[in-house]
Every structure is written in C-alpha cells, then in structure tokens.
Amino acid sequence: MKSHYSIASLKSLLFFLFLFSPSSAAPVGICYGNIADNHPPPSSIVSLLQSNAIPTVRIFKPSPEVLQSFSDSGINLMIGVPNEILPSLANNPVTFSLQWLQSNILDYFPPTHIKYLAVGNEVFFKDPYYTPFVVPSIWNLHQALKTLNLDQMIKLSTPHAACVLGTSFPPSNGSFNNEIMQQMIPLLQFLQQNDSPFMVNIYPFFSYINNKKDIGLDYALFNSQGYMLDNELYYNNLFDATLDSFVAAMEREGFPGVRIVVTETGWPTGGGEDASPDNARMYNGNVVRRARGDVGTPMRPGVGVEVFLFDMFDENEKDGQEYEKHFGVFELNGMKAYDVSFT
C-alpha cells in the first residue's frame, strides 16, 4: 500500500515533535528582518530554519508572502504589529482589531503557530507619538483574540529598547525612566494579569562601543574572568546585568513575577571596530548555550530566558552606522556566517 506521507511532510512532523518535546529548554529563535533588496524569497527559508532546528521566528510586520510560506512549516511565529497601525487599533472599536487580525494575519497563517504578537517595536521613550497608543492597542487586540478563543494561546506584549531604564547600574538599582511611567504601569498590569512576557531588545555591543571607558569587551562577550558584586550577587557579563536591571525595575513597581523574553540580541560581523565573525560567534554562542541550559540570571537562577537572535541575514538597506547592516547569522546562500548551533 502506498504511503500517504511525503518526505516533506515527514520532515515537518519530526520538526514538530522536536519543538514540543517535554525535554526542550528555553527556546532560541531568530529575527527575520527584511530591510534589504537581495534576500532569498521567503519560500526558500523554511528548509534553512528546519535544518538548523530553529523553532521560532520573529517577523517585524505581517506579510502575506512570508506568512503563507511559513504556514505549513510547523515553525512558531512572533508577528509584529507595526507602529503606524497603533492609532487605528487604539481609537477604533474592537471590531476593527478583529478585522485587522483576520485580514492581515489569520487569512494567511494558522493561529495554532502564532506564539506572540509584538505590538509596536521600541515605542516607549524612543517614539513618543505612538507611546499613548500601545496599551490601548494591546487591550483591543486582546479582546479580539478573546472573541476568537485565542487569548490563552497567543500572548501580547511590546518590545522595549534598553533606554526605557532610567537607572541600570548596578542591576539591583534598576528602575524605569520616569517619563514613561504613565504608560509602563498599565502595561505591566496587563502582562501580569494575562501571563504575558515583558519583551526587551538587548545589545551589549551597543553599550560597549558607546562606553568603552567603563565596559570591557570581555564583559560584553561573556568572556570576563572578573566579577561585579552587587547585593551579594556576582555578574561576569553585561547580558545578565541588563536583564536583572529589568527584573529589579519591575519588582520596584510591584510586578516581581513577570517573565522576560529577549526579542532581539546579537553581535555584528563587520562594519566597525570589534564587529567581527569571531566576536559574533562568541557572543551568540554563549547566548544560545545559556538559554538552552536554563542558566537564568543571578536574580532568577535556573529560570530559562527565551531569546531571539538578530538577525537571519545582513540587511543592506538599513540606515545608521555601517555595522547595522551586518548582523546576519546566515549568508545569503544559506551557509552560516560563523559557527553557531541553535541546539
């Protein structure tokens, strides 16, 4: 009798079993930025992700082509809700959010594989025009998901830049910038009530290049032989110190149990001093090992932190410094830019 399973469907089944194995540690995903004119088509990327056992991908805005390419892959998505749609989501009835979800996402991608909706990106403090619309948009999208019985499955949050912290050193003194507290407290209340994560983009590379006087390269790369002592806790890397600054900031406002997801982190392979494949390999390799080992941080030892490495490919049309274009983990031909394993 002929088998009803194709080789492709068997690969998808095995990948699905890998994703939901009970022994899986904190997952390590990847960001799929697309500010470029030379990337391979989305349809060719699924096999690259599956062959590298990458379970989750962050896309920054819903695209029918991308969503359809991923729809039968078994890969989970974090889907970005663009900043520019936030005023409409916030100021219209929930039916608008429902229609937006349906026509922009659910018509192209199964909800069972949507892990997160990232509502806006780095809005607080960096983009004051959109800041008042973030929390109302989250609530309206939440109500829309509730109408569809998807609110327990798909978690909502908004990724922050590290600058939302007013104080970050030492980590135990972590506190949010006073200018955003009017929006931050309602957001934290939503996250706590709905078991949603606090999302943050963390780049020790940027902190290092902007403050070499106080931050050593080894400390940024998880390669320091020394320690910083804070409240009887030892820190030997900037990644942990930054995460715990956010832990302390949330605890300071009365929200100690909200988990953290690192929605972007990475190290460039070129375009500036200390941007190299070797340093990217060392940094991202350590991030992956710590996540997969559920190492946690000094304030939350043994609590695995889900991370998304930035970025899948270099982005040749990005603005800013030259190194902004060189965060790709993979070459355009699908080969790795340096040796890093997601498992």
Active site (catalytic) residues: 122, 264
CA distance 19 to 14: 9
Q: Is the peptide bond before 197 cis (omega within 30 degrees of 0)?
A: no
Q: Is the peptide bond before 311 cis (omega within 30 degrees of 0)?
A: yes
Name, in order, each residue with C-beta under 8 angstroms of 3's C-beta and a sequence gap of 6 or more: none
CA distance 294 to 27: 10
**b/e per residue 117-133 (b: at least 16 CB within 10 A):** bbbbbbbbbeeeebbeb
H helices present in the chain, as ranges:
7-19, 46-51, 64-70, 86-91, 94-101, 134-147, 181-193, 204-210, 217-220, 238-252, 277-292
DSSP letters spanning 241-290: HHHHHHHHHHHHTT-TT--EEEEEE---SSSSTT--HHHHHHHHHHHHHH
337 residue type, one letter: A
CB 29 within 8 A of CB 54: yes
146: left (phi over 0), alpha (psi -120 to 50) or beta: alpha
The half-sphere exposure of 105 on its side-chain side, counting CA atoms within 13 A, is 28
